[in-house]
Chain A
């Protein structure tokens, strides 16, 4: 043994991304041809198309000179459904991401393919990343398709083309939606690394999603109330309390997503933090922000989403590195 072997053992030779391409391609083609993907697509179309169809009817009847008419398709909550497209997506995207990721690693264990694949020249890094990117690409394909359908039906039914800024804001929305899906994909893959049983990992991922959807807002407001003094004596006190509540809410990826989307698709949005009505005085109501200002506004939310996606993926990676390969 050369003397360098002792400390050399810490370094691995060869790129950690060897084999990333084949894994990515296989995951993508597996997802796209799977029955599960067809079911998820149906699900997405049902949830996405309904609000859009009703929104389009409403928008057609109320012809107003709105410069951002096209974006209203996404944000208007039609009277008969009470659910806007973006709110529907806030449900559907996590479900889809969880559906794609909850069995990505443990199913390889259960099929006993993992040790065979890892005995090929590939690091675990590439396998996990390839699976993640494959899932993300699948998600992106589905969302882009949905987006194009919405755009196309808007074009047909409203009878006017979207303006450039509207398309740009729409593309921004698409990217935020994919990042949001990435967070939940990473979460479900994390559970698929931890649990050998696919049912358990699906249950945990769905449980976490329900927790953030239903319980977390209640908990956040309970915590905020706990910090509240018996009597609020100043406006500052009131504001800081509201800000605490908002900060807690923002620990949920769903909040980050909806804030970012509102900022993008409602150009009138001037701030995402808590504002007292008095502070709004002087600001021209209803005056839309230019695109770059809107982007600046939602930037923290977008980085928050991307950062949490990376953190959760890194956690899954660390656990996966230490896992025994034998079934």
Chain B
């Protein structure tokens, strides 16, 4: 029997039992669609994180006090600092040719008040360099002025949310706020910009680093954020930081340098693993669909016993019968897979409508993998019924009992 005839015959057989065929198609297409949709969400998360990081520039480095064994891993816990990072450490780094801008960071929490209003707020002490490194944008006014970092001054830049809460619709520029017991004049309001790397930039007050140090009565830094001159300098910059600080710290390797790339690739690895896991779990539904195909086809074989017996009586060979049933399984799983692709893409369109910011994307490999798995399970689970059909004894099959 020629291929096209096997094909036509199988289609006739399938359309002869519409309810059963639809059931299997439904199971198969849902399986394929869930694999594709879940991977598209995972892939979307990966792209989202990627975009967030690269929006900061990819040549950023963080210097943390304390030595961490897992470089590239998450930052080590606070409080186990063998030797503090100081403002002078930070300033010494800027002299290196592979290093561009350097921003020291002090972080703490303090009550902020204005006109009887009082709130505990995250205080970020840094320098003018932070503006460019972190690619901030101003809503009103200006950022911290360029000045000697070791000298404090009574100016503050406030986040968008703080401005809304404390000043409501009034202008904040030029107003004096009180942080703990000191007075600071508001010189700028950050533009409305959401989360940035987990730190809510709209819910903090930025003051000069020396002011923050005296406010919190410390001479150390929380960390140093710096940028390499350009992408290719990241490695050199990292080495320069390690070398410079080691010199300054009496030969002790007591800092950790994390590059943006390392964080990015860690996230990337985690999210890719997550996507694959989720896809794998969804693939179980494909196996379920395969088992359903097997059952439906076993029923089909026993219902069509006399038909199979007849085909053999009029000269169909065992292998012709085998192929006819395998073709049936293949058509079922292929059609199911194609339907599944349609469902998945419709789902993605809906997600894009609902969350326009979230970069959902169906990776090509997931289409290929789910269609392949669908075919494989369909045919694999089709083999048993097909073999049963092929091995049917025509005399038994034709006799009515």
The answer to whether A and B assemble together is no
Residues of chain B touching chain A, judged by Cβ–Cβ distance below 8 Å, are none
